[in-house]
Amino acid sequence: MDWPTASGGTSFAILLQCNLFVALLKPTRQKERHMRLLGTILVILGVILLVYGGLTLFIPSGELWLGALSITVHDNLVIPLPPLVGLVFLILGIVMIMSAPVALRPPPPY
């Protein structure tokens, strides 16, 4: 199907599709923010995993009632994660922060 153009060809349609594709790939402020946020979260998780070496979850398993006094019993669930996972998260986070696209902004007027 030919698009009606002044030149009478399909070159305008191809050019329009290419411009739309390029516009989708341009870095925007929102993409930059999301990439930096995800990188920051990965860095924080990586440092936590390197320091603690795993995750510890407290799961309530029962409750004991002694009149007006109640005692809640918790089970500890330890998920051991090797320090390598923390190191990978840390490196990926740093790479994402450093390689986040920078939206080009015009210089401020003087």
Write out the residue range of the structural domain in which residue 34 sits.
Answer: 30-98
Flag whether 22 is in a domain. no
pLDDT band at 88 (very low <50, low <70, confident <90, very high): very high
- Is the model's pTM score more than 0.75? no
Number of domains in the chain: 1
> Which position has the higher pLDDT, 99 or 23?
99
- Locate 65 and state its tokens: 């009632």
Q: What is the pLDDT of residue 99?
A: 84
Flag whether 62 is in a domain. yes
| Listed residue (1, 4, 105, 87) closest to 46, CA to CA | 87
Flag whether 93 is in a domain. yes
Cα 4 to chain centroid, rounded: 43
The type of residue at 96 is: M
pLDDT band at 58 (very low <50, low <70, confident <90, very high): confident
- Please give the mean pLDDT across all residues of the chain: 76
Flag whether 104 is in a domain. no
Q: What is the pLDDT of residue 2?
A: 46
